[in-house]
Amino acid sequence: VERGTVDEVLRSPQHPYTRALLSAVPSTRLDAQPAFIRLPGETPSPANPPSGCHFHPRCRQATAVCRERYPETTALSSTHTVRCHLHA
């Protein structure tokens, strides 16, 4: 998934799941348009995860490689990492 400092993850979320989580946080701005990202499908069983990236069944950006291979960790900075084929 994604790891980093609070500032890095909040200001520059790189994983689709992180973006979806952050979209659920209400805005304090009165003029803000809701941009809630709804994830399709059901949460996979941790006892029987899907092949490849475990998030691919719910990711609208998933590709064939996401379904086939588990992503390696990619360092975006010395403190910010992501496991996502879109950033490899």
Planar angle of CA 55, 57, 39, nearest 5 degrees: 80
pLDDT at 34 over 80: no
CA dist 64 and 57 (Å) reads: 11
Where is pLDDT greater, at 31 or 45? Answer: 45
Q: Token pair of 25, please?
A: 């946080």
Every domain of the chain and the residues it spans: 2-40+51-87
The residue-averaged pLDDT of 57-86 equals: 96
Distance CA 75, CA 61 (A): 20
Q: How far is CA 67 from CA 15, 45, 52, in A?
A: 16, 16, 5
Q: What is the pLDDT of residue 88?
A: 61
Q: In this predicted structure, what is the pLDDT of residue 36?
A: 81
Residue 82 scores a pLDDT above 90: yes
Distance separating alpha carbons of residues 67 and 82, to the nearest angstrom: 17
Average pLDDT across the chain, whole number: 91
